[in-house]
Protein backbone atom coordinates (compact mmCIF):
# COMPACT_ATOMS: atom_id res chain seq x y z
CA UNK A 1 0.00 0.00 0.00
CA UNK A 2 2.19 2.80 -1.29
CA UNK A 3 1.66 6.39 -0.30
CA UNK A 4 -2.13 6.71 0.08
CA UNK A 5 -2.99 10.14 -1.26
CA UNK A 6 -6.21 11.98 -0.52
CA UNK A 7 -8.88 10.68 -2.86
CA UNK A 8 -11.30 12.34 -5.21
CA UNK A 9 -9.50 15.64 -5.14
CA UNK A 10 -6.71 17.23 -7.04
CA UNK A 11 -3.44 16.26 -5.36
CA UNK A 12 -2.62 19.46 -3.56
CA UNK A 13 0.81 18.44 -2.29
CA UNK A 14 2.40 18.49 -5.73
CA UNK A 15 3.75 21.97 -6.35
CA UNK A 16 4.63 21.08 -9.92
CA UNK A 17 0.91 20.89 -10.56
CA UNK A 18 -0.02 24.44 -11.58
CA UNK A 19 -3.75 24.22 -10.94
CA UNK A 20 -3.73 22.53 -7.57
CA UNK A 21 -3.95 25.43 -5.16
CA UNK A 22 -6.99 27.04 -6.72
CA UNK A 23 -8.64 23.73 -7.60
CA UNK A 24 -8.58 22.66 -3.98
CA UNK A 25 -10.66 25.73 -3.20
CA UNK A 26 -13.26 25.49 -5.96
CA UNK A 27 -13.58 21.74 -6.45
CA UNK A 28 -16.92 20.14 -5.79
CA UNK A 29 -20.01 20.37 -7.90
CA UNK A 30 -21.63 23.13 -5.85
CA UNK A 31 -18.65 25.09 -4.61
CA UNK A 32 -18.30 27.47 -7.56
CA UNK A 33 -22.02 28.20 -7.46
CA UNK A 34 -21.82 29.18 -3.80
CA UNK A 35 -18.92 31.52 -4.49
CA UNK A 36 -20.72 33.00 -7.46
CA UNK A 37 -23.89 33.79 -5.56
CA UNK A 38 -21.87 35.36 -2.76
CA UNK A 39 -19.90 37.55 -5.13
CA UNK A 40 -22.67 40.13 -5.33
CA UNK A 41 -22.53 40.62 -1.57
CA UNK A 42 -23.27 38.88 1.73
CA UNK A 43 -26.11 36.45 1.66
CA UNK A 44 -28.11 34.39 4.12
CA UNK A 45 -28.53 30.64 4.19
CA UNK A 46 -32.11 30.77 3.00
CA UNK A 47 -31.26 33.13 0.19
CA UNK A 48 -28.55 30.80 -1.03
CA UNK A 49 -31.00 27.92 -0.95
CA UNK A 50 -33.33 30.06 -2.99
CA UNK A 51 -30.53 30.78 -5.48
CA UNK A 52 -29.84 27.08 -5.88
CA UNK A 53 -33.16 25.27 -5.56
CA UNK A 54 -31.56 21.99 -6.59
CA UNK A 55 -29.16 21.77 -3.68
CA UNK A 56 -30.21 20.12 -0.45
CA UNK A 57 -29.79 21.83 2.88
CA UNK A 58 -27.32 19.21 3.98
CA UNK A 59 -25.02 19.64 1.03
CA UNK A 60 -25.22 23.41 1.17
CA UNK A 61 -24.29 23.32 4.84
CA UNK A 62 -21.38 21.01 4.12
CA UNK A 63 -20.03 23.21 1.33
CA UNK A 64 -20.40 26.37 3.42
CA UNK A 65 -18.61 24.81 6.38
CA UNK A 66 -15.88 23.57 4.11
CA UNK A 67 -15.36 26.93 2.45
CA UNK A 68 -15.36 28.63 5.83
CA UNK A 69 -12.66 26.27 7.07
CA UNK A 70 -10.55 27.00 4.01
CA UNK A 71 -10.89 30.74 4.54
CA UNK A 72 -12.91 31.42 1.40
CA UNK A 73 -15.96 32.80 3.20
CA UNK A 74 -16.95 34.04 6.62
CA UNK A 75 -19.99 33.06 8.64
CA UNK A 76 -21.59 35.52 11.03
CA UNK A 77 -24.52 34.66 13.25
CA UNK A 78 -26.96 37.41 14.14
CA UNK A 79 -28.67 36.38 17.39
CA UNK A 80 -32.01 37.77 16.36
CA UNK A 81 -35.34 36.04 16.42
CA UNK A 82 -35.75 34.30 14.15
CA UNK A 83 -32.02 33.68 13.91
CA UNK A 84 -30.19 34.69 10.77
CA UNK A 85 -26.78 33.70 9.52
CA UNK A 86 -24.92 35.66 6.92
CA UNK A 87 -22.19 34.39 4.65
CA UNK A 88 -19.72 36.62 2.84
CA UNK A 89 -16.62 36.18 0.75
CA UNK A 90 -13.29 36.86 2.41
CA UNK A 91 -10.44 38.53 0.56
CA UNK A 92 -9.23 35.05 -0.35
CA UNK A 93 -12.68 34.23 -1.68
CA UNK A 94 -12.66 37.37 -3.78
CA UNK A 95 -9.36 36.29 -5.31
CA UNK A 96 -11.18 33.35 -6.82
CA UNK A 97 -13.63 35.52 -8.71
CA UNK A 98 -11.69 35.73 -11.99
CA UNK A 99 -11.98 31.97 -12.38
CA UNK A 100 -15.67 31.89 -11.49
CA UNK A 101 -16.30 34.84 -13.76
CA UNK A 102 -14.56 33.08 -16.64
CA UNK A 103 -16.66 29.98 -16.08
CA UNK A 104 -19.85 32.03 -16.10
CA UNK A 105 -18.87 33.84 -19.28
CA UNK A 106 -17.96 30.65 -21.10
CA UNK A 107 -21.21 29.06 -19.99
CA UNK A 108 -23.17 31.97 -21.36
CA UNK A 109 -21.33 32.00 -24.66
CA UNK A 110 -21.74 28.27 -25.17
CA UNK A 111 -25.40 28.46 -24.26
CA UNK A 112 -25.87 31.24 -26.80
CA UNK A 113 -24.11 29.22 -29.49
CA UNK A 114 -26.32 26.22 -28.80
CA UNK A 115 -29.51 28.20 -28.99
CA UNK A 116 -28.28 29.80 -32.22
CA UNK A 117 -28.11 26.39 -33.92
Partner DNA sequence: CGGCATCCTAATAGATACTG
Partner DNA sequence: CAGTATCTATTAGGATGCCG
List residues near a copy of itself by CB under 8 A: 5, 8-11, 14-15, 17-23, 26-27, 29-30, 32-33, 36, 52-54, 92, 95-96, 98-111
Cα–Cα dist 55/30, whole Å: 8
Buried b (16+ CB within 10 A) or exposed e, 71-104: ebbeeeeeeeeeeeeebebeeebeebeebbeeee
Whether 99 contacts 26, CB under 8 Å: yes
Q: How far is the CB of 65 from DNA (least distance, A)?
A: 6
Residue 63, interface with DNA (CB under 7 A)? yes
Q: How far is the CB of 55 from a copy of itself (least distance, A)?
A: 8
Residues that bind DNA in the complex, under the rule CB under 7 A: 1-9, 11, 27-31, 44-47, 54-59, 61-65, 75, 82-85
Amino acid sequence: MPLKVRKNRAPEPYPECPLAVCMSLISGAWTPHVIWYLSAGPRRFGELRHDMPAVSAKVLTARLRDLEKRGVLSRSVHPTSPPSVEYALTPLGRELMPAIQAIVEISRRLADQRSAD
